[in-house]
Structure 1
C-alpha cells in the first residue's frame, strides 16, 4: 500500500511551486553561540530548545 504525503509535505510542495522557499528552520549563529530565529535569544552550542520562548528546531 502506498502512503500519502503528510499535509506538511503537500503544503511545502504547494508553496515551492509558487516560488516560496520551504527550507527547515534551524538555529542561526551569532558570536559563536546558537541564536533562536523566533526571539533572538542566545544559547550555548549544546542547546536543543530556546529557554526564552521554547522554540525547537524541526
Structure 2
C-alpha cells in the first residue's frame, strides 16, 4: 500500500509547479564563516543560531 505524501510535500509540489523554489534554507558561506541568509551576519562554523537576528536553519 502506498502512503500519501505529507501535507508539506503536497504544498511544496503545488508551489514548485507554479515556479516557486521550495528548497530548505540553510546557512550560506562567506570567507570560511557561516552567513545568515536573512540579515547577512557572519558567524563561526559552530553557530546554530544567528546572534544578530535570531534566525535558525529549518
TM-score by length of 2: 0.83
Q: Which consecutive unaligned segments of at least 5 residues does structure 1 have?
A: none
Q: Which residue of 2 aligns with 1:22?
A: 22
> Aligned-residue CA RMSD in angstroms?
1.4
Is residue 6 of structure 2 the alignment partner of residue 5 of structure 1?
yes
Q: TM-score, normalised by structure 1?
A: 0.83
Q: Does 1:53 align with 2:43?
A: no
Please, which runs of 5 or more residues in structure 2 have no aligned partner?
Answer: none
